[in-house]
Amino acid sequence: MSRLESFRRRLTAQIDGINWAIEKTTEIQGDILEMGLGNGRTYDHLREYADRRVWVIDRILQCHPSCVPPTKDFLQGEAEDMLTRLAEGGYKMALAHYDFGHGVKELDVEEGKALSPLIKAVMAPNGLVVSQQPMVGLTEISGPDTIMPGRYHFYQNG
């Protein structure tokens, strides 16, 4: 598979996975958390299609100018510190999307696992995590049929 095809599969998985999770969490109270603002594409999708507050964590603000989050929702800093801040504030997420990464598979998997307990701590009961990387300590569930198993990861808190 070419890198271009792999990129297309990633985008399709993100769109289908996020749409599926928005639909599944309509009855759950809470906010949304985007982990990894990057260019702002998935953040923009979440704020477009989910009628909730969308928090965003990233160590840097370098997104497309049309995707700059409101200051009150943007937590600029290291994931560990920002997740801790959210937990201390008592905020709960109905849906979280995890898209942190360096592009080095082993490091990215390790980071996802290390951050899992902090992510779990900010999830509402039965809230869903849609993730680029495997998580631990959350219940793995099947995502939409359009996504190949293992391409994206889906978890429920509970």
Ligand X SMILES: C[S@@+](CC[C@H](N)C(=O)[O-])C[C@H]1O[C@@H](n2cnc3c(N)ncnc32)[C@H](O)[C@@H]1O
59 is a contact residue toward ligand X (CB under 6 A) = yes
The CB-nearest residue to ligand X is 38
* Of residues 86-105, those binding ligand X (CB under 6 A): 99-101
Q: Considering only CA atoms, which of 54, 26, 50, 30 is closest in space to residue 40?
A: 54
23 is a contact residue toward ligand X (CB under 6 A) = no
We find the least distance from the C-beta atom of residue 45 to ligand X, in angstroms, to be 8
Contact segment (CB under 6 A) with ligand X among 20-28, 35-43, 122-130, 143-151 equals 35-43
Contact 147, 16 (CB under 8 A): yes
The DSSP code for 70 is P
We find the least distance from the C-beta atom of residue 145 to ligand X, in angstroms, to be 23
We find the least distance from the C-beta atom of residue 25 to ligand X, in angstroms, to be 19
DSSP characters over 98-157? E----S-HHHHHHHHHHHHHHHHHTEEEEEEEEESS--SSSEE----TTS-BTTBEEEE-
Q: According to CB under 6 A, which one of 78, 137, 148, 158 is a site residue for ligand X?
A: 78
Q: Report the interface residues with ligand X, using CB under 6 A.
A: 36-42, 57-60, 78-79, 99-101
